[in-house]
A and B are shown apart, each in its own frame.
Chain A
Amino acid sequence: MLASAFAEAGLAYLTSSLLLSAVHHIRYWTQMSATLTAHGLWHERVRVPVQITLTCGEAIVASLALWALLASDVRLMQVTFVVALPLAAAFLAYVSVLERSGVHVPCGCYFIGRPELYDRPNHVPALALVLVSGVGLMATCFLNASTPEGLPMYLAGLRTAVILALGVSATLLVQVLGVLKMGPLSRNGIASPTLSITSV
């Protein structure tokens, strides 16, 4: 039962975070392009293909996760986590490279907050994706039941909805914590692009 909870919560997190990211990337396509340009790691020719691949990849993995969650199919859950884990690891590696390169631009990993107010990459969302994918994959190894037992159909549906809500809440929590970690907001609450803040 615990393994099932971990796996389903992981799928809900993958669904919500990747779907919201994909929607955000589509909605703010130009901004994403500018961010990738500012990173300085992509050649001009590959930037647009990277954008398209990334956005499509997010949407596909999110759909896969949602499908696995709704179908409660263990094999599909495993496939989803197996696909998500290397992608999340690659994302984490990319953010790490950005951090080491010392660029003063955000990583573009957040769909909340105002990116123009932050000046450095942050690995919180990528790390969360890696952890969720890894834990979810491990959890699926202990699963053998394909459907939750004992609950009537309407309650099973409610259960799925609550788990999805948990995924959305967890996604937003990770985003907010990551954004707060990026700047001095949490301690000082004040800042300006031309000012430095010292902790007292």
Chain B
Amino acid sequence: MTASLELSLLVVLTIAVVLLSFVVAAMLARLIRLEGRIAGGGADIFSELVGKVIPAELRAASSGLSRVLFLAEDCLSCRQLVQRFANEPPREPTALLWRGDGIPGPVETETLKIIRKAGHAFDSLGLRITPVEVWVDSAGVISIARPYELPRGISATPLVRKVASRR
């Protein structure tokens, strides 16, 4: 009786271990794949944006500017960047799309057009990472999309943070 019970338990345990191994292997493979995408610099992430058309209302609000920055309130680098813009407006005409409630930085200047609470634009492009710089042509089609190169003195967020969304 005891032996048969032990044997049954052993069989069940073996099956459980095999199944668990499959689960672990699948998760491990997924982790390796995701880390590979991160380590790859995220080029694929941005190339997916190229060719997309920015929303019409965004195009109108940005007054046809060809350079668009996507910044978010819950991104440390973005907040620092906006504060920097208060003292040093960008040289090139730029539309700044801000995701979040309050923008910590600048008033609009000749070269900087700010569009607040632009969460819908982020959503429509499937954009979840910031800061991102996008160039659009006259038809509103994205021709270049890349991570915004932070100027000296602004610390890049050391690594990724996950925060609740706020529009």
Is B a genuine binding partner of A? yes
Q: Which residues of A contact B (CB under 8 A)?
A: 1, 5, 104, 112-114, 117-120, 148-151, 155, 158-159, 162-163, 165-166, 169-170, 172-173, 176-177, 179-180, 183-185, 187-200
Size category, B interface: 35 or more
Complex Cα distance A117/B6, Å?
45
Q: Which of A155, A176, A194, A198 has the most CB of B within 10 A?
A: A198
Q: A117-B38, A184-B161, A197-B160 are in contact. List 11 more A-B contacts (CB 8 A).
A: A1-B9, A113-B31, A114-B35, A117-B159, A162-B17, A176-B24, A184-B160, A193-B156, A194-B147, A194-B156, A195-B131
Nearest-Cβ distance from residue B35 to partner chain A, whole angstroms: 5
Evaluate contact between B76 and A196: CB separation under 8 angstroms. yes
Nearest-Cβ distance from residue A62 to partner chain B, whole angstroms: 20
Evaluate contact between B160 and A172: CB separation under 8 angstroms. no
Nearest-Cβ distance from residue A138 to partner chain B, whole angstroms: 20
Evaluate contact between B3 and A189: CB separation under 8 angstroms. no
Evaluate contact between A151 and B7: CB separation under 8 angstroms. yes
Q: Which residues of B contact A (CB under 8 A)?
A: 2-7, 9-10, 13-14, 16-17, 20-21, 23-24, 27-28, 31, 34-35, 37-39, 41-42, 45, 72, 74-78, 99, 122-123, 128-132, 147, 150, 156-166
